[in-house]
A and B are shown apart, each in its own frame.
Chain A
Amino acid sequence: MKSENSANAASAFEYAPAPESRSVVDIAPSYGLFIDGEFTEAADGKVFKSVSPSTEEVLSEVAQAGDADVDRAVKAARKAFEKWSALPGAERAKYLFRIARIIQERSRELAVLETLDNGKPIKETRDADLPLVAAHFFYYAGWADKLDHAGYGANPRPLGVAGQVIPWNFPLLMLAWKIAPALATGNTVVLKPAETTPLSALFFADICRQAGLPKGVVNILPGYGDAGAALTAHPDVNKVAFTGSTAVGKQIARTVAGTDKKLTLELGGKGANIVFDDAPIDQAVEGIITGIFFNQGQVCCAGSRLLVQESIQDELLDSLKRRLSTLRLGDPLDKNTDIGAINSAEQLARITALAETGEAEGAERWSAPCELPTSGYWFAPTLFTNVTQAHTVARDEIFGPVLSVLSFRTPEEAVAKANNTQYGLSAGIWTEKGSRILAVANRLRAGVVWANTFNKFDPTSPFGGYKESGFGREGGRHGLEAYLDV
């Protein structure tokens, strides 16, 4: 029943466009490699284009590192290592604190840049990525002069040159996870950002200069898989850190086998989000959405398998579908956008293919009713019901906005199904009963177990996987170990 006395300015509450200003970031038409404190062209002069996934617009042309550039960068890092590692921890801390503060000061610019290059919503880069990036540098800056108290004895030594290869899903955050602990412990760095998202790493190179970081301490080499392979195989690299796919991780493990390189791998996942019948439904629905639709599901620790107790399955799915229908997909720079673009055509093709496999194998597909933009790479939030452990969509990492829904009857069955995967990166438990949280969490083989929340990150908390999700921990005191000779 409508009353006569209602508003007249518009007929419905439709949010007007609220785009974040693009003019806060100045993207140059071309960028070089960052080696020994200078931007330089690639030795062979190769370049590649970085494209905005939401519009397919070319953002910039970037130098593409090859073997000769990797060698040059490693040499620069080796040369810088001597002085950098000899600095008192308190002095290294000053640089890290300075970097952290510059990141905070430039966070709006960096958030817009990251959204343009990656395709994720500005809401996420503004409220999640950038605050976490700064927090990570602040956190490890605090460790730099306290390494004696990290639990590795007095005066633990750095390893030397760290070769780091990072993915495209959280470009600047993954850079922070790699570079902050490396520098705090006295290592120097050669980092290769992903080929689809090189820009924020290049802006970080500029921040290193702005902070007066000695040249050669951080080197940034945009490039493809061949540059990553050359970096991880380089004989003068002492430490390899990789975040990315399990397939590439295995290749790297083979490459460094038989060398004295220290290796940490943070790979794929197929996280189980377990909802018990006494869970707070509305909050669980939010957690499921955060679990699988944060960053369009392109998150290694995504809660991509929903395990729901059979007695509440229908109610939960009704709530979930209703809520998914309210997600706002579109222009990532719009402050009201919940779901942005898929990072690349290649990734979109992979998601599409796996979703088709799901249908072909008999799982029931449901997609949120939303209009997809005509240019760019887009995939509607999707869930599969009637999924069993045997389905491909329950086993393979999709790395996209696709949720597989499975049911269970007892806590034992939930734990068995959750652990029945080649991966072991993350899991979530939803129940109002504290004792059940503890009992179930203890039996889950996953590096991170969230209780009544999901995808919550903090630099003080170690992160890493079991099984094919990799080894080694990043973040927290534990994250220091990978960069120390202990």
Chain B
Amino acid sequence: MDAVGLEARAAALGTRSIKTSAKAYAIDLAISMIDLTTLEGADTAGKVRALGAKAVHPDPTDRTTPRTAAVCVYPDMVATAKQAVAGTDVKVASVATAFPAGRAALDVKLADVRDAVAAGADEIDMVIDRGAFLSGDFMKVYEEIVAVKEASGQARLKVIFETGELSTYDNIRRASWIGMLAGADFIKTSTGKVGVNATPANTLLMLEAVRDFRAQTGVQVGVKPAGGIRTSKDAIKFLVLVNETAGADWLDNHWFRFGASSLLNDLLMQRQKLATGRYSGPDYVTVD
């Protein structure tokens, strides 16, 4: 990877001007791709129920608003989240494998995964062992993903690299290939718990990786940037990256997700602006 060239390409795609009908399309698509997330020590059943309600009806004043793709919670909140989105196509994703640090024995990580799956999680967001990766034990990283994939059963597996800790683009590219070869359904940038999370450049490089992987193996893998994407403008830039790198096949929430929470309200405000021609304000979207 050439860092300068990669960042220049990401920045160049960031200058695309997305207006009117294209903007409306992108905003709805972005809403439909959100894994609406709460991953706090202070999470309660009430908080998770509110999040579920928001995912199902993001904008109570406009029922044409698409639902988000999923809600994303800790394993002990999966059952609550399932109830909150019951009867809709909103998925429940659960982080697992000693998220976010991943510093636990494999048995403990697998138990974490099985617990979430047993509670009804449709999707598992695991973290890789960055310690193993950074010390060069790529086989350990690979085997853990294989084991977690098996433990996930029917649930789709998202593999989080914590790109901010892998630090270099070469590492992120290598991790992407390890993850895809080990059976990841999604590759995901970050936990949202470290300083550097999703960036246009690291997401671009992961999009190149899934594009190349499908070309070589025929297997399509999804991408999920997470953390730090807060505005509609940013989200649209990421969709441009998807459109012009992996291509239209990835422009669907089965293949691309945003791990985000505050992004949704900004998208809703922009959506209202497009519909009414006026900016409303933070009091016209719900705080959940």
Contacts and interface: CB of A to CB of B under 8 A. Distances in A.
Interface stretch (A7-15, A263-271, A372-380): A7-15
A220 to B, nearest CB: 32
Interface in A430-473: 432, 452-453
Nearest to B67: A5
Interface stretch (A33-41, A282-290, A416-424): A282-290
A283 B22 contact: no
Interface of B is mostly: helix
B230 interface: no
A336 B22 CA distance: 12
B186 to A, nearest CB: 14
A283 B9 contact: yes
A349 interface: no
Nearest to A289: B9
A123 B32 CA distance: 31
Interface in A1-37: 1-10, 12-18
B196 to A, nearest CB: 21
Contacts of B208: 282
A260 interface: no
B202 to A, nearest CB: 13
Interface string B242-270: 01100010011110000000000000000
Contacts of B254: 1-3
Given A3-B254, A15-B16, A9 B21 contact: yes
A321 interface: no
Contacts of A336: 16-17
A453 B4 contact: yes
Interface in B28-61: 28-29, 31-32
A283 B244 contact: no
Contacts of A283: 1-2, 5-6, 9
Contacts of B69: 3, 5
Nearest to A335: B17
A182 to B, nearest CB: 32
A287 B69 CA distance: 37
A13 B22 contact: yes
B24 interface: yes
Contacts of B217: none
Contacts of B252: 1-3, 6
Interface in B216-249: 239, 243-244, 248
A8 B254 CA distance: 15
A16 B274 CA distance: 14
Contact of B26 (A1, A13, A123, A432): A13
B135 interface: no
Given A6-B29, A7-B29, A16 B2 contact: no
B244 A326 contact: yes
Nearest to B274: A9
A280 interface: yes
Contacts of A286: 5, 8-9
B64 A280 contact: no
A286 B8 CA distance: 9
B192 interface: no
A8 B66 CA distance: 8
A346 interface: no
B56 to A, nearest CB: 10
B28 A14 contact: no
A5 B90 contact: yes
A18 B19 contact: yes
Interface size grouping (class) on chain B: 35 or more
Nearest to B6: A283
Q: Contact residue range for chain A? A: 20 to 34
B25, B29, B32, B244: residue with the most chain A Cβ atoms closer than 10 Å: B25
A261 B20 CA distance: 58
B15 interface: yes
A9 B27 contact: yes
Contacts of A453: 4-5
A5 B66 contact: yes
B103 interface: no
Contacts of A4: 89
A3 B22 contact: no
B93 to A, nearest CB: 14
B21 A10 contact: yes
Given A3-B254, A6-B29, A8-B28, A16 B22 contact: yes
Contact of B5 (A3, A10, A452): A452
Candidate in B6, B17, B32, B243 with the most chain A CB atoms within 10 angstroms: B17
Nearest to A10: B25
B9 A7 contact: no
A16 B29 contact: no
A9 B17 contact: no
B205 to A, nearest CB: 8
Given A5-B66, A5-B69, A7-B66, A280 B5 contact: yes
Contacts of B24: 9-10
The residue in A7, A127, A287 that gathers the most chain B C-beta atoms within 10 A of its C-beta is A7
B28 A3 contact: no
Contact of B243 (A1, A3, A13): A13
A6 to B, nearest CB: 5
A6 B5 contact: no
Contacts of B139: none
A280 to B, nearest CB: 4
B278 to A, nearest CB: 19
A326 B13 CA distance: 12
The 6 tightest CB contacts between A and B, nearest first, are A283-B5, A7-B28, A18-B17, A10-B25, A7-B29, A335-B17
25 contacts: A1-B252, A5-B32, A5-B69, A5-B89, A8-B28, A8-B64, A9-B24, A9-B28, A12-B248, A13-B248, A15-B16, A15-B17, A15-B18, A15-B22, A16-B19, A16-B20, A123-B15, A280-B6, A282-B205, A283-B1, A283-B6, A286-B9, A432-B2, A452-B2, A452-B5
Given A1-B252, A5-B66, A282-B208, 20 more contacts: A3-B253, A5-B32, A5-B90, A5-B253, A6-B66, A6-B253, A7-B29, A8-B66, A9-B29, A13-B29, A14-B25, A15-B16, A15-B22, A280-B2, A280-B6, A282-B205, A283-B1, A283-B2, A283-B6, A432-B2
